[in-house]
Amino acid sequence: MSTADGRKVLLETLKRKSGHKQDVFQNTKEWFYILKKVLQECIDELSGQLGDDRIRFRVEDQGLGEARLYLGSDVLVFHMHSNVFKLPPTDYATQTSYVKNKPENAYCGIINVYDFLADSYEQNRPNDLGYLICRIFVNKEDHFKVEGKGPLGIAYQNYMNQVLTEEILHELILRIGIYALDFDLLTPPYQAVSTVSVEELQTLSSHSKLRTGKRLGFRFHSDNKIQG
């Protein structure tokens, strides 16, 4: 390949590939904006029916790439990744004619959904653990898929034919909320919390440094039954 040919190929590839990734990212940003709007709509629709002021039920907009949905003792953190990714060759979606006939359809933006304890944020406990319960992939043409725990990893797998809509986002948010509320805080194994430092104990009454999370990194029998 001559230098002139190399320059031409480089520029054409740069324009085609990087330009497409910019389009995917812009579309993901637009859908994340819509998602935040839908989160607020869900709160507005249901808050009047809750009837218990003690229960956390609110959404907080944290700017361009993050929103937090408080549900009782949980907070679901919706986080839009700043990069665009290509679905791997091992993914079933890449084996469909939709991607094989147009490989750029495999490029997606990602919205991750993490489940934390609400106290972890409200009491500023930075060592507490959160869990990725699902992630939403969306491409330039609004086709999407969801990877996740339990039913969240089953319901939205038809990447070739699924097109994201506000109605689907409403449904997905409800499914995510139900899953998170069923994902309970379990007592950690005794040996995992049997030692504590003086500093940790001194700060326990205010901003605890004892790491807390719904599962504390341990695999339970029920976790072996779900994918994600």
pLDDT of residue 208: 47
Q: Write out 202-220 in H/E/C secondary structure.
A: HCCCCCCCCCCCCCCCCCC
Kindly tell me the burial class for residue 111, based on how many C-beta atoms sit within 10 Å of its own C-beta (0-12, 13-18, 19 or more). Answer: buried
* pLDDT tens over the chain, length 228 residues: 788 777 777 787 778 789 999 999 999 999 999 999 999 999 999 998 998 999 999 999 999 999 999 999 999 999 999 999 999 999 999 999 999 999 999 999 999 999 999 999 998 888 888 889 999 999 999 999 999 988 999 999 999 999 999 999 999 999 999 999 987 766 667 776 666 666 766 665 555 445 566 654 333 333 444 333
End-to-end Cα separation, the chain, in angstroms:
45
How would DSSP label each residue in 72-126? Answer: TTEEEEEEEEEEEEEPPTTSGGGGSHHHHSSGGGGEEEEEEEEEEEHHHHHTT-T
* Listed residue (79, 81, 78, 76) closest to 120, CA to CA: 76
pLDDT of residue 206: 55
DSSP-derived letter for residue 222 is: G
pLDDT of residue 31: 98
pTM over 0.85: no
Residue 80's domain spans which residues? 3-225
**CA pair distance 199, 215, nearest whole angstrom:** 24
pLDDT digits 0-9 by tens, 59-68: 999 999 999 9
List residues bridging with 67 in a β-sheet: 61, 78
The percent of the chain in helix, strand and coil, each rounded to the nearest 5, is: 45, 20, 35
How would DSSP label each residue in 121-139? Answer: HHTT-TT---EEEEEEEE-
What total number of domains does the chain contain? 1
DSSP-derived letter for residue 64 is: T
> Which helix (H) or strand (E) element contains residue 4?
helix 3-13
